[in-house]
Structure formats: structure tokens, C-alpha cells
Amino acid sequence: MTPSNAAVSQAIDCVLIASGKYHDIDFARLELLKLLGEDENVRVRVFEDYANLDAICSAQFIVTYTCDVLPSQEQQEALHNWINQGGRWYALHGTNSILRFLDNGLVDSPLLAPRLMEVLGTQFIAHPPVGTYRVDIADAAHELVQGIEPFDVVDELYLSEQHADLHVLLDTEFEGEAAGFVRSNWEYARHPVMYLRPLGQGAVLYLTLGHCRGHHDMRPLMANWPDVQRCAWEKPVFYELLRRGLSWAKAA
């Protein structure tokens, strides 16, 4: 029984999809669940893929931390329709990745899911080796990044192809080589780090930061990865961006 003097709050249903290759998904999943748990009204269901469309379409928002996890065509259409009708999707790091290892050792990023990339707004193509780069504020007036100062981060710098109109909030610059990828040579350009992709009554918020890898996350390519990588997860500003993004998503 609810005490008569207690405020009645509404549950906020969330779907978290955390899975994929070459990343410490266990670490990212736990960190995201801890952040989601800061609001006692948020109720989270956790999945490894997009198969449970009933859960996704009944959620108020979804959060994804994946790498090379592709929804089926039916699932892509359902995601599009759900966002178009007002859903909000906070997509992190490798959500927009498709990775195919070729016989010559290079990594290709083929456009095998154009509907997904249209929904997300970009598709990952390549990144230079993990290193330090500067993240700049592209729209300092926007509430999602207001008060955030430019910062240096050690992470994967995502080089992506754009598939929709974007409202860029954070960006960075790059010119050089992304060794190991089919498209390895990149002319100077600015690349989005955090952006909004409006779609109908809803939107996607994408943040490319957040690479992480433990000793066992390169199997079967490598039995043991020598160094534990936490990258942006070691910076308070990254957690601030995560919290702001989750607050935005909950407002759906």
C-alpha cells in the first residue's frame, strides 16, 4: 500500500543493449547500469541484441553499447518507426559499426544495413590507433554540452560517413592515416563526437567516445590483450556527458 503522504512517481522503462566484439562489454554494461540506477524510477531490461521488439517498442528510451551487432531488416524498420513516433535512443561508441576482416588483413566497413545507418545518422568507417585528441564544443549553447570546456581524451577517434542531417554538439579534427582499415587515408575534416539526429517526433543522441577493452576481449583473434584500456571512462567529463545524455533520453 502506498502511504497517503508519499508522492506517486511514474516508472520509466528502459532497454539497454550491450554486446559485441573486441570491447569489454561487461565493464561498459556495469557502468551504464550504475548510472541508470541513479534514478530509482528507471526500470531496465538488458539484452544482447535487438530481437525483443516488444520490449524495445514499449520502452521510453533505449541505450546501446555494441560493436558489430546488426538488427535484422524487420528490427531496423521497427527502430525507425519507434523513434519516429517519439522514442529516444542514446547510442554509444560502436553502435554504428559493421566490421569485416578481409583476407589481406584489413578491416572493411561495408554498408550492409543502410536503414540502420540512416536512423543513427552515421556509419563507422575507421579510426587511427588509440591516442590523445582534442574534443571541441560545436554548439556551446545547447543544454547537453552547455558549460563543458574543450578537453583532451585518449580514445578511438571515430571516422564515419554521414547518412542524415546532424546537429553536432561535440567534434574533433583529423587528417592522416587509419592504418589497418580499407579506407586508411583521410584528408583534413572535422568529425562529430557527439550529435543529435532528429527523426520525426523522436531522436538519436550519439556519443562516439567510450572505447574499453580487457585482457580477454580480442578472442578469437588474440588469446590475450596485453593492456586494459579504459580511455574516456577514466575522465569525469565523460560521465557528465553520459548522465546528461541519459537525462535527455528519459525526457522522451
CATH number of the structural domain spanning residue 40? 3.40.50.880
> Can you give the pTM of this predicted structure?
0.96
Question: In angstroms, rounded to a whole number, what is the distance separating the alpha carbons of residues 121 and 99?
Answer: 18
Q: Is the pLDDT of residue 181 over 60?
A: yes
Q: What are the E-state strand segments in the chain?
A: 12-20, 42-47, 61-67, 88-92, 100-101, 107-108, 122-126, 131-137, 151-155, 159-162, 167-177, 185-199, 202-207
**Inside any domain, residue 63:** yes
Q: Would residue 51 count as lying in a domain? A: yes
Q: Is 1 a member of any domain?
A: no
Domain count, the chain: 1
Q: How far is CA 216 from CA 8, 84, 225, in A?
A: 45, 38, 6
Mean pLDDT of 184-206: 98
131: in domain? yes
Position 128 in a domain: yes
Q: pLDDT tens, 9-37?
A: 899 999 999 999 999 999 999 999 999 99
6 in a domain, yes or no? no
Q: Does residue 4 lie within any of the structural domains?
A: no
Q: What was the pLDDT predicted at 4?
A: 52
CA dist 198 and 116 (Å) reads 14
Residue range 137-166: mean pLDDT, rounded: 98
For residue 79, being part of any structural domain is answered with yes
Q: What are phi and psi of 214, to 5 degrees?
A: -105, -170
For residue 9, the model assigns a pLDDT of 87
- pLDDT for 6 equals 55
Domain span at residue 163 reads: 12-250
